[in-house]
Structure 1
Amino acid sequence: MMSVSIIEYYAEHERYKCGYCKKPDTSYSHGIWAHTMTVSDYQDLIDRGWRRSGKYCYKPTLDVTCCPSYTIRCKALDFKLTKSQKKILKRINKFLSGEAEQDKDDRRMSTSQSYEQIENLGEQFVAPKQDPQMINVHNVTFSSGSNEQDDSAIGDTSPIPYMCDDVPETSGDFMMEKGETSLKSLQTDSVPGTSTVLPVKKDMGPDPNKAPCKKAKLLRRERRLQKLKDKGIDITTLPDINKNKEKQIEDFINELPENVKHKLEIKLVRTTPPSGEWLASAKQTHELYVKYQMKVHGDTPDKCTEPKFKEFLVHSPLLEEHSEVGPPSGYGSFHQQYWLDGKMLAVGVIDILPKCVSSVYFFYDPDYMHLNLGTYGALREIAFTRNLHTLCPELKYYYLGFYIHSCCKMRYKGNFHPSDLLCPETFKWFPIENCLPKLNSSPYSRLDNDIDSVDENYPKQGDINFIPIHYKGSVLMYKVYKKKVSKSRRNSEELDEYLRLVGSKTAKNLVLVR
């Protein structure tokens, strides 16, 4: 079975209500409805300024919209904690240890409720203004042939797999216990009082007939020391290289005593296709979401219904994919559930992609607002990204969605250092500190200083002919579709626009429904 992206392009470019400045008709964006999408294609799209909301993907039109939204990513491997972020990690550890539940510093943070409220400001459900077509993705086929009519068709004749949203996943879930070391590099919570649950690929895990594996870090250290010994160097006289080493995010997370009052457990649960563990916790997750939305964002119950919740934060077009060099959980859409003493505390909605962990949304129990769980969740997701990198060398970024400089309350995303912003014209990345002077002068700005730099994925003449078109259950290239079905000028103009927005490379991978 082959995995393929099947999408509809919405050429409408009407005015929408802005989720940031709240104006009713000043937000502009283009949209795609994704019936299915591979993680590689979605990675390419977010690297061109797209972002998903459920199965709807949208790209803000930065040069005309009221609040230009720039894609922002944090370089997780080089992440540096700020003073306030260190305080939040220490506060959580104090709470887990059972120290003063809410000291003076905590009370000061809890009174600043607006700080927590901004952390998901505008990260709301964005819906298309038209309904997607009913597509039987199970029976779509790719024909092959040698004549002109078929030489532009692609692939084989296998039906396209579709991961529906209501069929339980058959694979089990995996609880990482103390002493199980084969997946240790992914265990971000292997410290007293915490644990991690991760779905695991079949045939992976500790072999009871073999000695426990050593951490790669320990093995590298042993090899380095052995080389020094072979050179005749007395390693017992070497200085402690870690003595003056700056503490990393993992050091702060792991600063817990053996005996703790509260147990924090983080579970990685696949939501598409739905795992058994997700189905078992779906009711609790929705109840927590309703409590959060009503208390923190002031939503009414009719805005937090279960169907709307699932459409926004559960349903995803991303296909489940596994790779020998990928994470044991595979790629796709997940919930990271935070459980405190057996009670659901918070949920981070994330996508695990080939090059990044992409944050979709985060919600928590507002009774624990004094712990600044929004920031804590982002820090844990950065640490999670760093751990995934140990197994997946290409995966090294943490995407925070959009950075809106014109909205002061959204500037907190720039506090995760170092971070880059995506240039809306060349689609290259630049350090945020270099971009701020430009954005201070104008809400919309080309971030690339090189006037000769261009979009390397900009479509060339003739690229339109190689767009795969879904038509009556079959897929054929646009040049064949044009001869057989439609020679509409409007159709060509619309596809030219589509090509520019998604990029030439990605357009050749996405099957476009017509």
Structure 2
Amino acid sequence: MLRSLVEYYAEHEHYRCGYCKRPDTNYSHGMWAHAMTVSDYQDLIDRGWRRSGKYCYKPTMDVTCCPMYTIRCRALEFKPSKSQKKVLKRVNKLLVGQDGLDPSPECGRKMSTGSSGSEVLAEGFEEGGEQFIETMREHQDINLDMVKNSKPLDCSGDEVGDSTVQKDVVKNVQLDSVAPPQEKIVKKDTGPDPNKAPCKKAKQLRRERKLEKLKEKGIEVLPVSPRKNKEKQIEDFINELPDDLKHKLEIKLVRTSPPSPEWLATAKETHEVYVKYQMTIHNDKPDKCTEPKFKDFLVQSPLLEEHRENGPRCGYGSFHQQYWLDGKLIAVGVIDILPKCVSSVYFFYDPQYMHLTLGTYGALREIEFTRSMHSQCPQIEYYYMGYYIHSCCKMRYKGNFYPSDLACPETYKWFPLLECIPKLEASPYSRLDPDIDSVDENFPKESDLNYIPMWVNGAVMLYKAYKRHAAGKKNANKVNELIEYSRLVGAKSAKSLILVR
């Protein structure tokens, strides 16, 4: 039976924040995971934990400067926005040969402006947040611009305060006093004549004449409701490409932990793309992009490889999705496949292809991948995007992937992002659960401490046995630390994770 083995660290406090750049305002708790089952990690990320390599951490939400809320996209309900469809079409144009492969140096410069290497820690795809307002407008019932820019209306329906509109109203009133009351004088080149019936297309006229003839013959034809064009999904954009493509894009899924032969064969190329990305997009120095650091961050994983009877064919665990364009590696998505979701860890690409907006494209392909995983394993329904940080404008872009939910930091229940925005606008840290009586249903009881499994001198024992075993020894009973640990991981995980002592 697979088991998770972890070491817990007390609160990591007063360190530099990679988002607001303040030197000593970031707080979090941490765990080093020697090994972890995918089920245990699923439970942890649902309580606000994330991993960076084998290090797992959870922000101290009510204290840290930039609260980080776990965000997930409901992949099965996802509909691409207009701007996201443009990204898909842009890549398709390249593949059919309508767009060149050699972008100008100016391409994508706006997206990379202001990027920072300190934003690397356990974030998913990285594209700008300027599309967030557009997504809000697309999925809300009101047009924010109309509300913001509206002016008082007079009885005629024209805007008050516009001198041009007022003059036209006066002219129309004067003309109306001369013209017959049944008709309106229409100025030239101002649109269709309201006194005449709207023009009909020839096809409609032919249809009406045919219906009249059938009616004369005593044949009654029921009206046909107009057909609505089916809204395109991600899969439609991916599958609509012709067979005779000028360029070939192939996405390969390779397991990284334990390292598969496919990963080992492409490790050098993957690291080279990572170095280009970090140095160009995040202005990192070469000593921060070394191969050992790259592997610690994006290759090493505590997740155990698992294959289940009703699980996905590739199994659960940690993978790289490699994007190969005409045999050249141009981008890599680092993902975890878990029992309920596909979790994005990081995404990096060759800056030469920045004009393709590959960060957004990679996220869309990962959502499509999540949906394909659902067809194999119905329990997989969500696409986890890491953390949503409303106090950092550059990190709001994750809200563009609609619909998405945030986890409440107090009850760990999920709520639609759009309902959470007003609370986050009022305060960076907020209890997102509107029910004041709602509680954390996974909160441990005092008696649960006795059933925490512990690794002691090569043997596993419950805490109640460990207390007797370690009686009288120095620092044997760190009860307060154990209580803190169990509250952070939850009662279920506290009884499942084996804690090293």
TM-score (norm 1): 0.75
Q: For 1:279 and 1:93, how far apart are their aligned partners in 2?
A: 30
Aligned partner of residue 11 in structure 2, secondary structure:
coil
Partner residue in 2 for 1:443: 428
Q: Is the 1:116–1:374 contact (alpha carbons within 8 Å) kept by the matching residues of 2?
A: no
| Stretch moving more, 250-259 or 60-69 | 250-259
Partner residue in 1 for 2:311: 326
Alpha-carbon shift at residue 42 of structure 1 (Å): 0.1
Q: Is the 1:439–1:445 contact (alpha carbons within 8 Å) kept by the matching residues of 2?
A: yes
Alpha-carbon shift at residue 246 of structure 1 (Å): 1.3
Query: Does 1:510 pair with 2:497?
Result: yes
Q: For 2:362 and 2:227, how far apart are their aligned partners in 1?
A: 27
Q: For 1:351 and 1:426, how far apart are their aligned partners in 2?
A: 25
Equivalent in 103, 108, 111 of residue 110 of structure 1: 108
Partner residue in 2 for 1:501: 488
Alpha-carbon shift at residue 297 of structure 1 (Å): 0.6
Partner residue in 1 for 2:192: none
Q: CA offsets, 1:355-380, max 9 Å, x none?
A: 00000000000000000000000000
Partner residue in 1 for 2:217: none
Please give the residue correspondences for 1:228-239 in structure 2 after superposition, counting only pairs within 5 Å.
Answer: none
Q: Structure 2 counterpart of 1:508, which letter? A: K
Alpha-carbon shift at residue 19 of structure 1 (Å): 1.4
Q: Structure 2 counterpart of 1:360, which letter? A: V
Aligned partner of residue 263 in structure 2, secondary structure:
helix
Q: For 2:490 and 2:413, how far apart are their aligned partners in 1?
A: 13
Q: Is the 1:116–1:369 contact (alpha carbons within 8 Å) kept by the matching residues of 2?
A: no
Q: CA offsets, 1:414-453, max 9 Å, x none?
A: 1000000000000000000000000000000000000010
Partner residue in 2 for 1:196: none
Note closer, same or farther for the CA distance 1:506–1:322 as it changes in structure 2 (3 Å cut): same
Q: For 2:281 and 2:479, how far apart are their aligned partners in 1?
A: 46
Q: For 2:50 and 2:99, how far apart are their aligned partners in 1?
A: 41
Aligned partner of residue 73 in structure 2, secondary structure:
strand
Q: For 1:242 and 1:44, how far apart are their aligned partners in 2?
A: 45
Q: CA offsets, 1:225-261, max 9 Å, x none?
A: xxxxxxxxxxxxxx99996321111111223122111
Alpha-carbon shift at residue 103 of structure 1 (Å): 11
Please give the residue correspondences for 1:59-208 in structure 2 after superposition, counting only pairs within 5 Å.
Answer: 59-101=58-100, 110-114=108-112, 117=115, 122-124=119-121
Q: CA offsets, 1:260-300, max 9 Å, x none?
A: 11100110000000000100000111111001100111000
Q: For 1:327 and 1:117, how far apart are their aligned partners in 2?
A: 36
Partner residue in 2 for 1:257: 242
Note closer, same or farther for the CA distance 1:298–1:111 as it changes in structure 2 (3 Å cut): closer
Alpha-carbon shift at residue 113 of structure 1 (Å): 2.6
Q: For 2:319 and 2:226, how far apart are their aligned partners in 1?
A: 38
Aligned partner of residue 15 in structure 1, secondary structure:
strand
Q: For 2:251 and 2:280, how far apart are their aligned partners in 1?
A: 24
Note closer, same or farther for the CA distance 1:109–1:490 as it changes in structure 2 (3 Å cut): farther
Partner residue in 2 for 1:352: 337
Q: Is the 2:455–2:461 contact (alpha carbons within 8 Å) kept by the matching residues of 1?
A: yes
Q: For 2:324 and 2:497, how far apart are their aligned partners in 1?
A: 38
Equivalent in 313, 321, 331 of residue 298 of structure 2: 313
Aligned length: 400
Q: For 2:5 and 2:226, how far apart are their aligned partners in 1?
A: 52
Partner residue in 1 for 2:468: 483
Note closer, same or farther for the CA distance 1:454–1:346 as it changes in structure 2 (3 Å cut): same
Q: Structure 1 counterpart of 2:10, which letter? A: A
Query: Does 1:341 pair with 2:339?
Result: no
Q: Is the 2:390–2:428 contact (alpha carbons within 8 Å) kept by the matching residues of 1?
A: yes
Note closer, same or farther for the CA distance 1:284–1:242 as it changes in structure 2 (3 Å cut): farther
TM-score (norm 2): 0.77
Q: Structure 1 counterpart of 2:65, which letter? A: C
Q: CA offsets, 1:163-208, max 9 Å, x none?
A: xxxxxxxxxxxxxxxxxxxxxxxxxxxxxxxxxxxxxxxxxxxxxx
Equivalent in 343, 368, 375 of residue 353 of structure 2: 368
Q: Is the 1:116–1:372 contact (alpha carbons within 8 Å) kept by the matching residues of 2?
A: no
Q: Structure 2 counterpart of 1:122, which letter? A: E
Alpha-carbon shift at residue 302 of structure 1 (Å): 0.2
Q: Structure 2 counterpart of 1:33, which letter? A: W
Please, which runs of 5 or more residues in structure 1 have no aligned partner?
127-238
Query: Does 1:245 pair with 2:193?
Result: no
Higher helix share: 2
Equivalent in 244, 252, 276 of residue 267 of structure 1: 252
Q: For 1:495 and 1:449, how far apart are their aligned partners in 2?
A: 30
Note closer, same or farther for the CA distance 1:405–1:451 as it changes in structure 2 (3 Å cut): same
Q: For 2:105 and 2:87, how far apart are their aligned partners in 1?
A: 13
Q: Is the 2:18–2:119 contact (alpha carbons within 8 Å) kept by the matching residues of 1?
A: yes
Q: Structure 1 counterpart of 2:343, which letter? A: S
Q: Structure 2 counterpart of 1:85, which letter? A: Q
Q: Is the 1:107–1:370 contact (alpha carbons within 8 Å) kept by the matching residues of 2?
A: no
Q: For 1:249 and 1:512, how far apart are their aligned partners in 2?
A: 43
Aligned partner of residue 320 in structure 1, secondary structure:
coil
Note closer, same or farther for the CA distance 1:11–1:21 as it changes in structure 2 (3 Å cut): same
Alpha-carbon shift at residue 489 of structure 1 (Å): 7.9
Q: For 2:322 and 2:335, how far apart are their aligned partners in 1?
A: 11
Q: For 1:110 and 1:245, how far apart are their aligned partners in 2?
A: 32
Aligned partner of residue 405 in structure 1, secondary structure:
coil
Q: Structure 2 counterpart of 1:441, which letter? A: A
Equivalent in 389, 394, 397 of residue 412 of structure 1: 397
Q: For 1:383 and 1:115, how far apart are their aligned partners in 2?
A: 29
Note closer, same or farther for the CA distance 1:489–1:496 as it changes in structure 2 (3 Å cut): farther
Q: CA offsets, 1:88-139, max 9 Å, x none?
A: 00000001111032899x9986242337948x8723269xxxxxxxxxxxxx
Aligned partner of residue 440 in structure 1, secondary structure:
helix
Q: Structure 2 counterpart of 1:361, which letter? A: Y
Percent identity over paired residues: 70
Equivalent in 458, 469, 476 of residue 454 of structure 2: 469
Q: Structure 2 counterpart of 1:381, which letter? A: E
